[in-house]
Amino acid sequence: MSNFNSKIKAYWKKIHKSDGFSALTGALLAIAIGLLVGMVLMIIINPENSMQGIGRLLKGMFNNPRGGWIGLGQMLYRATPIIFTGLAVAFAFKTGLFNIGATGQYTVGIFAALLVGVLGDKLGAFQWIVAVLAGMGAGFIWGAIPGIFKARYNVHEVITSIMFNYIGMYLVNGLLNSNSLKTLVVDGSTNRTVKIDQTARTSYGFFNDLFPNSGLDISILIAIGTAILMYFILNKTVFGRELKSVGLNRDAAKYAGVNEKRSIVLSMAISGMLAGLGGALFILAPSVYNLGTVYPIENVLLNPGFDGIPVALLASSNPIGVIFSTTFVSYIKLAGNSMQGVGFVAEIVEIIIAVIIYFSAFSLIMTQNIGNIKVFIKKFKKKKQKEKPEFKGIDPKAGEK
Amino acid sequence: MQKIIEMRDICKQFPGILANNHVNFDLRKGEIHALLGENGAGKSTLMSILFGIYLPTSGQILKNGEPIEINSPNDANNYGIGMVHQHFKLVEVFTILDNIIMGVEPNKFGFVKRNQAKKEIEDLCKQYDLSVDLNSIVQDVSVNMQQRTEILKMLYRHNDILIFDEPTAVLTPQEIKQLLNTMKFLTKQGKSIIFITHKLDEIMEVCDRVTVLRRGNVIGTVETKNTTKEDLSRMMVGRDVIFNIEKKPAKLGDIILEVNDLTVVSERTKKNVVDHVSFRVREGEIVCIAGVDGNGQSELGQALSGLIKTNSGEIILKGVDVTHKSIRFRNDNGMSNVPEDRHKHGLILADTLGNNLALKKYHLKPFQNHGLIKTKPIYDLAKKLIENFDIRSGEGFKARMGALSGGNQQKAIIAREIDKDSSLFLSIQTVRGLDVGAVEFAHNKIIEERDKGKAVLLISFELDEVMDVSDRILVMYEGKIVKNVLAKDITVEELGLYMAGVKKDTVFPDKISQPYTPNEETQEEMTNE
């Protein structure tokens, strides 16, 4: 029995010391602090309704009037595109790059998939898969360009990818408004794109029975599969190891024989491809009640691209972690929607997410240094007990010798 | 004699390693006190505690018998403690004057009174016999003058306890002599000096006392006049160290590395940093490129390893022209390379020791299969190398590379490169930051490689290494090779003259790299082929 205990202890120690564990506890701590800040804020803003509001905040998707089960499906449906953009950002982070251009890559992904989905009716059964591949390809190219600038001319990828967000968005809107496309893919009365052909829409799979009319389709399975694949590539393959080494120390990777320029371009391109895939699956989704999804032609950068950044940060760029952090963010966003019913603005949720991101960086440092904090507290207590002035950090035995 | 600084019972605990274990250390007024120890023995930690970079886990520091509290380098400065770091802390684009007064500028209403400062510093220069050109920009002056700038910085701040962290590593023999004289002179003026070095000759020459550390413990403090080099090294390493490396005569074989008319143009200055260099390295010989730092050796090393592009000339490795081949091609086809800058190029500090030991191999079998990394062979390799090369790490191969001490990081690189079993072993500043025990070990390994028939090319700024290890010496001065000579045919003094550019020869790349024959005359004949 004692042997068993010691085994558990050793196992616990192993887990306890691993980076993943401290990342997880860090994230949970940050979430707790973020929710707490949000609640305090709600009490200050609107004391009367605060209890009701907090209840809705905590209930998240279970506020859904059609029942929590449908809410769950809806949460996953909403999470799907953000999982992809989160994976895009996380993948770039892991390889030492900050891809802030996920929204641009997401937009060109939507555009490419849309064209195939609307105009490619001759493709028949292949229309869906071609549309998905087109979205991935568009994202791949859109990610690769900042990568090429970074690798060849050392232009920082943050600057180029921000600019490529705008270039992408205006280019897509411009092309949609061009004479040749406008009549074909834009619905003039709503200034939105027309709906995707039925043959090109993503299948509901068994989700239609499981979560009827929640909008959830098999994209979520593709998202989870992609996350696992990314984790596998980064951690188990030579290719991933090389990308990661370039991220950790570009010079050393070069010295060790990695073609670091190619790695940078590929990292950005793959990151862009993930965002593009997210865009494609978003526009191809059959959506709630099978109405289809549309792209509004407005000069605004799309949100899912930016939401990818906080979820990647919260997950410490772990691809598997991204699934969970996105689920949480999507849960709390749904809570934000229903909080409006009792007189709170949905932006409180944005504040909570911001606080969580801020503290997730901070708490990671805290959990990694828990030992040091304990020592510090001990010292502090000792100092208080002995009233006489003493040199900080003295071993009490030192004076006696 | 009066103890100006006393460190009592200092302990410093890092994760997995006790860097200082109840260390007692004292510095008397007006002495030079050497701090000696192996890599990772805790010297730097101890001095970092004294200089306020680390806080001790426990222990006490006293100045003139009064307990003091040092929480930051600023505190240390206020207590009159100054430090010359191994890597200088100077702003390269500022003048020497600005560097010296930085942080303590004499001013009136916020306006810097440069003239007053200049006069004060000139007085200091006269008083301590240190010559610097105050108006020069730091990046334009020699390493030697940069070091004097660091010393003046301490003097200008009225520091009377001076810590020198391996100050002689970057200097020529002549400059070392000058520095040691300056140090002696400073103590005559009432300063007290702590001198961290690995070089026992220097300790015997200038120090009054030596404190030896081994694995975080003080082994003892001895008066220099009562001890010998052999005793000190035994205290330090815990066994006898052989200073004169025994080696068999070189058995030369085929040419492994052939460098023809190689030129590298600096991007910044547009000058030829490597200027039409030609030489050969054969199987079974150790060729050493000597020279003062900054004469193009670094660029030559980088060009050979493929890190920078060459502008003309060719590099032929085992008969294959690799001038325009990728780094990976060179790595996989017979080049081992210990880079000059271990943090920038040699290691991925954020990764584990095990992964770093496999850094150049993980893309080869058996470390991968169909592109999938196999962890077991990597771990096995790491365990083997840690064992064979005595790499000390708190948590084995899972330790983060950055957590290892500098010497152990260097050992890891040497282990990785020797393990590659390449036909050319190119090594730049192999023993930088290694202690005598580790230096002996590394040198023996290199000679072992030579005896196995490998071609070894060392680039070194340290004359001891050049003289002890090499079979043949090439001296580089201002990008050119100015001397090509067998090690046994030249003295240290003469080598110093070539390194300083006083003497230059016309060099024929192949002259002495002919198959080794003990008879001088036959050798002359053979060169005429």
Tell which A residues from 194 to 253 touch B, by Cβ distance under 8 Å: 236-239, 241-242, 245, 248-249, 251-253
> Is A260 touching B (CB cutoff 8 A)?
no
A 10 A CB-CB count for A84 gives: 35
Best of B6, B353, B373 to disrupt the A interface (most A CBs within 10 Å) is B373
Which residue of A241, A248, A254 is in closest CB contact with B307?
A254
Best of B66, B332, B348, B355 to disrupt the A interface (most A CBs within 10 Å) is B348
Backbone angles phi, psi at B331, to 5 degrees: -60, -45
CB contact (8 A) between residue B69 and residue A392: yes
* Confidence (pLDDT) at B527: 43
Tell which B residues from 395 to 424 touch A, by Cβ distance under 8 Å: none
CB contact (8 A) between residue B348 and residue A237: no
CB contact (8 A) between residue A395 and residue B9: yes
CA dihedral B170, B171, B172, B174 (to 10 degrees): -170
Whether the per-residue pLDDT at B310 is higher than 70: the answer is yes
Whether the per-residue pLDDT at A194 is higher than 50: the answer is yes
Nearest to B301 by CA among B289, B314, B283, B292: B289
Helix axis angle, A260-284 to A219-236, nearest 10°: 170
CB contact (8 A) between residue A391 and residue B67: yes
Whether the per-residue pLDDT at B124 is higher than 50: the answer is yes
CB contact (8 A) between residue B363 and residue A391: no
Whether the per-residue pLDDT at B525 is higher than 80: the answer is no
> Is B321 touching A (CB cutoff 8 A)?
no
Whether the per-residue pLDDT at A275 is higher than 90: the answer is yes
Looking at per-residue confidence, does B85 or A388 come out higher? B85
Best of A234, A249, A376 to disrupt the B interface (most B CBs within 10 Å) is A249
CB contact (8 A) between residue A252 and residue B348: yes
CB contact (8 A) between residue B60 and residue A255: no
**Rounded to whole angstroms, how far apart are CA atoms B431 and A92?**
37
Q: Which two tokens stand for residue A37?
A: 């800040």
Going by pLDDT thresholds of 50, 70 and 90, the confidence category of residue B138 is confident
Whether the per-residue pLDDT at A91 is higher than 90: the answer is yes
Residue of A nearest to B329 (CA): A257
Tell me which H or E stretch contains B138.
Answer: none
Chain A residues with CB inside 8 Å of B24's CB? none
CB contact (8 A) between residue A252 and residue B337: no
Q: Where are the alpha helices (DSSP H) in B157-239?
A: 173-188, 200-206, 229-237
Which residue of A248, A259, A394 is in closest CB contact with B326?
A259
> Is B62 touching A (CB cutoff 8 A)?
no
Which residue of A252, A259, A398 is in closest CB contact with B60?
A398
Whether the per-residue pLDDT at A394 is higher than 60: the answer is no
Whether the per-residue pLDDT at A356 is higher than 90: the answer is no
Chain B residues with CB inside 8 Å of A96's CB? none
* Confidence (pLDDT) at A231: 94
**Mean of pLDDT values over A37-47:** 88
Whether the per-residue pLDDT at B520 is higher than 60: the answer is no
Name, of A133-137, A336-340, B456-460, the range with top average pLDDT. A133-137
* Confidence (pLDDT) at B250: 79
CB contact (8 A) between residue A255 and residue B67: no
* Confidence (pLDDT) at A374: 65
Whether the per-residue pLDDT at B340 is higher than 70: the answer is yes
The full 3-state SS of chain A, as one line of letters, equals CHHHHHHHHHHHHHHHHCHHHHHHHHHHHHHHHHHHHHHHHHHHHCCCCHHHHHHHHHHHHHHCCCCHHHHHHHHHHHHHHHHHHHHHHHHHHHCCCCCCCHHHHHHHHHHHHHHHHHHCHHHHHHHHHHHHHHHHHHHHHHHHHHHHHHHHHCCCHHHHHHHHHHHHHHHHHHHHHCHHHHHHHEECCCCEECCCCHHHCCCCCCHHHHCCCCCCCCHHHHHHHHHHHHHHHHHHEHHHHHHHHHHHCHHHHHHCCCCHHHHHHHHHHHHHHHHHHHHHHHHHCCCHHHCCCCCECCCCCCHHHHHHHHHHHHCCCCHHHHHHHHHHHHHHHHHHHHHHHHCCCCHHHHHHHHHHHHHHHHHHHHHHCHHHHHHHHHHHHHHHHCCCCCCCCCCHHHHHC
Looking at per-residue confidence, does A373 or A159 come out higher? A159
**CB A115, CB A184: distance < 8 Å:** no
Whether the per-residue pLDDT at A139 is higher than 90: the answer is yes
pLDDT for B359-407, tens place per residue? 888 888 888 888 888 889 899 999 999 998 888 887 788 888 887 877 7
CB contact (8 A) between residue B359 and residue A252: yes
**Mean of pLDDT values over A276-286:** 93
Going by pLDDT thresholds of 50, 70 and 90, the confidence category of residue A82 is very high
Looking at per-residue confidence, does A223 or B254 come out higher? A223
**CB B424, CB B306: distance < 8 Å:** no
pLDDT for B485-506, tens place per residue? 888 888 888 888 888 777 787 7
* Confidence (pLDDT) at B498: 85
Per-position DSSP letters for B397-443, written without gaps between them: GGSBGGGS-HHHHHHHHHHHHHHT--SEEEEESTTTT--HHHHHHHH
Residue of A nearest to B350 (CA): A248
CB contact (8 A) between residue A393 and residue B58: yes
> Is B60 touching A (CB cutoff 8 A)?
yes
Residue of A nearest to B8 (CA): A398
Nearest to A126 by CA among A216, A199, A178: A199
Q: What percent of chain A is modeled with pLDDT above 90? A: 39
Looking at per-residue confidence, does A89 or B522 come out higher? A89
Chain A residues with CB inside 8 Å of B328's CB? 257-259
Tally C-beta pairs within 8 A across A and B. 93
> Is A261 touching B (CB cutoff 8 A)?
no
Q: What percent of chain B is modeled with pLDDT above 90? A: 16
Which residue of B11, B327, B362 is in closest CB contact with A238?
B362
Which residue of A245, A395, A397 is in closest CB contact with B348?
A245
Q: Predicted ipTM?
A: 0.74
Residue of A nearest to B365 (CA): A238
* Confidence (pLDDT) at B14: 77
**CB A180, CB A312: distance < 8 Å:** no
> Is B331 touching A (CB cutoff 8 A)?
yes
CA dihedral B130, B136, B138, B141 (to 10 degrees): -70
Best of A255, A317, A383 to disrupt the B interface (most B CBs within 10 Å) is A255
Going by pLDDT thresholds of 50, 70 and 90, the confidence category of residue A340 is confident
> Is B362 touching A (CB cutoff 8 A)?
yes
CB contact (8 A) between residue B363 and residue A236: no
Phi-psi region of B465 (alpha: psi -120 to 50; beta: other; left: phi over 0): alpha
Which residue of A236, A249, A399 is in closest CB contact with B348?
A249
Tell which B residues from 17 to 56 touch A, by Cβ distance under 8 Å: 55-56
Chain B residues with CB inside 8 Å of A251's CB? 344-345
Chain A nearest-CA distance from B113, in A, is: 38
Chain A residues with CB inside 8 Å of B326's CB? 257, 259
Question: Residue A336: CB partners within 8 Å, gap ≥ 6?
Answer: A57, A346, A347, A348, A349, A350
Residue of A nearest to B338 (CA): A255
pTM assigned to the model: 0.75
* Confidence (pLDDT) at A133: 96
pLDDT for B446-484, tens place per residue? 898 899 889 999 998 777 788 888 889 999 888 888 888
**Mean of pLDDT values over B420-447:** 84
Chain A residues with CB inside 8 Å of B363's CB? 238, 242, 257
Whether the per-residue pLDDT at B419 is higher than 60: the answer is yes
Whether the per-residue pLDDT at A389 is higher than 80: the answer is no
Chain A residues with CB inside 8 Å of B339's CB? 255
* Confidence (pLDDT) at A391: 44
Whether the per-residue pLDDT at A388 is higher than 80: the answer is no
Looking at per-residue confidence, does A316 or A99 come out higher? A99
Whether the per-residue pLDDT at A382 is higher than 80: the answer is no
* Confidence (pLDDT) at A271: 96
Chain A residues with CB inside 8 Å of B358's CB? none
* Confidence (pLDDT) at A393: 43
pLDDT for B193-224, tens place per residue? 999 887 788 888 899 999 988 888 888 899 98
Chain B residues with CB inside 8 Å of A248's CB? 348-351
Whether the per-residue pLDDT at A19 is higher than 70: the answer is no
Alpha carbons within 13 A on the beta-carbon side of B25:
29
> Is B301 touching A (CB cutoff 8 A)?
no
Tell me which H or E stretch contains B464.
Answer: helix B463-469
* Confidence (pLDDT) at A24: 79
* Confidence (pLDDT) at B519: 43
- What mean pLDDT, rounded, does chain B reach? 84
Which residue of A241, A256, A398 is in closest CB contact with B59?
A398
* Confidence (pLDDT) at B409: 86
Question: Residue A394: CB partners within 8 Å, gap ≥ 6?
Answer: B58, B59, B60
**Mean of pLDDT values over B237-257:** 77
Please return the burial class of A4, using the count of CB atoms within 10 Å of its CB with bins 0-12, 13-18 and 19+: exposed
Tell which A residues from 365 to 394 touch B, by Cβ distance under 8 Å: 391-394
In this structure, what DSSP letter does residue B135 have? T
Cis peptide before B366 (omega within 30 of 0): yes
Which residue of A257, A392, A401 is in closest CB contact with B327?
A257
CB contact (8 A) between residue A245 and residue B60: no
